Structure 1
């Protein structure tokens, strides 16, 4: 493995850092994608983790694909068109699938540039805290290519079709104030506060029962493509499950006793 992801834990919250600052945390090595998939698989089994923060080391969140590797036709960009199709399907696209399907809530701490795939990764997160001097871009067309990791599907769902079209078709870079106006950023904070604020939000999420936040996230994700009757059937099933958890009983008892609950993920 490339050891691209540095993982730290505080209580029920993981902080995951893309740790290749010398390359602005660009993603080129297939092992980097495999680490994201392995992380998501582990979190699917570990119900003691209730929230995750994702950020980048150094001055960038993630610069997307490595442009020098594109030029040199190496790594993910080597081989015939059929080879490259396979590379995309088995590497960077697995990041999108893994993060999109992950039920653990994820807060992105956008500490710097999030370009191309880097921006797409932030869109797979649930909440985005952005540094006031950070910049983002869906800049694929400026390199003569198209969003290959899910950005054309994700971006319109986050910022609306008009804003997504402008960003995707011009490839322009937008600042934090614009990202906030578009609804891409949930909050904009001074650079030094971006990781602490993201962790604060993650701990606020983790203060709630893990089964409730995971199922609520799943409902929102599925609801984006469901009709209301189908969604309500899912809600009824999930609500019934929730009512039969020990954490639900503890939440009710704590509320009535005016004390802090102690959840055990049961």
Structure 2
């Protein structure tokens, strides 16, 4: 009797390139892209890889199949070592890298995945997207930055309602409260997200990274402190004048 060769394990994160944009696809569609240990390791690795690659200027993250992600793989999490033994969380890596990360939310985005999406630079949502943070509902606490980042996105009262109730939020509500920047037809989600990503990638990469850091640093600061950060950054920033002229000409041609 011939011994059956085990099926190769599916890559938990698929990585493709579209010009200067790296697309990371959470790839456990049979488990609604539940985030297990292998996926967490892969996400962290690919975020660091994108940050270190000068040819990558923007990262897009989406989900395979019908869901963005159902959140952390609870059966695995309840029967293994706690995630804190794995080092930095994926969202800590995401906040640390210097390039914009766009979440293209194509369906349900729950709990840990909701925190993951909130930590992205911004969200573009399919009309089929549904968001929910069910940590408190099932007796858990946020651990990936949700309680810190969500109030900065939707305001404190709305963040309290979302986190404490666990109620699902449809795409149109997400747009209304500022959780999602845009809601687009489901079939055009990746196309529209890539269009935005390429618009960012066409800008001066050094200026994009410095402005992104400035925006992050100023987001939780007082207006006076944020203005001081801007003044300091502007005074120390130097760019190639020829490069500025070439990019200005390119943008002018594009808009005419």
Length-normalised TM-score, structure 1:
0.84
Displacement after TM superposition at 1:228 (Å): 4.5
Displacement after TM superposition at 1:260 (Å): 5.7
Displacement after TM superposition at 1:121 (Å): 1.0
Corresponding residue for residue 65 of structure 1? 72
Displacement after TM superposition at 1:36 (Å): 2.2
For 1:154 and 1:192, the matched residues in 2 are separated by 29
For 2:33 and 2:140, the matched residues in 1 are separated by 20
Select between 61-70 and 17-26 the one with higher mean Cα deviation.
61-70
Secondary structure of the 1:25 match is coil
Corresponding residue for residue 199 of structure 2? 204
For 1:118 and 1:186, the matched residues in 2 are separated by 17
Displacement after TM superposition at 1:5 (Å): 1.4
Select between 37-46 and 218-227 the one with higher mean Cα deviation.
37-46
Corresponding residue for residue 90 of structure 1? 86
CA deviation string 1:115-138 (max 9, x = no partner)? 001111111111211111210101
Secondary structure of the 1:60 match is coil
The reply on whether 1:216 has 2:211 as its aligned counterpart is yes
Corresponding residue for residue 104 of structure 1? 99
Contact 1:88 / 1:148 at 8 angstroms: preserved in 2?
no
Corresponding residue for residue 33 of structure 2? 25
Corresponding residue for residue 146 of structure 1? 141
Q: 1:170 to 1:191 in 2, by over 3 A?
A: same
For 2:118 and 2:187, the matched residues in 1 are separated by 22
For 2:43 and 2:251, the matched residues in 1 are separated by 40
Structure 1 unaligned blocks of 5 or more: 79-83, 262-266
For 2:53 and 2:151, the matched residues in 1 are separated by 32
Contact 2:71 / 2:114 at 8 angstroms: preserved in 1?
yes
Match of 1:255 among 231, 240, 248: 248
For 1:258 and 1:231, the matched residues in 2 are separated by 28
Contact 1:129 / 1:188 at 8 angstroms: preserved in 2?
yes
Match of 1:44 among 31, 38, 51: 51
Match of 1:239 among 229, 234, 237: 234
Corresponding residue for residue 264 of structure 1? none
Structure of higher RCO (CA pairs closer than 8 Å, 6+ residues apart): 1
The reply on whether 1:131 has 2:138 as its aligned counterpart is no
Structure 2 unaligned blocks of 5 or more: 1-8
Contact 1:107 / 1:201 at 8 angstroms: preserved in 2?
no
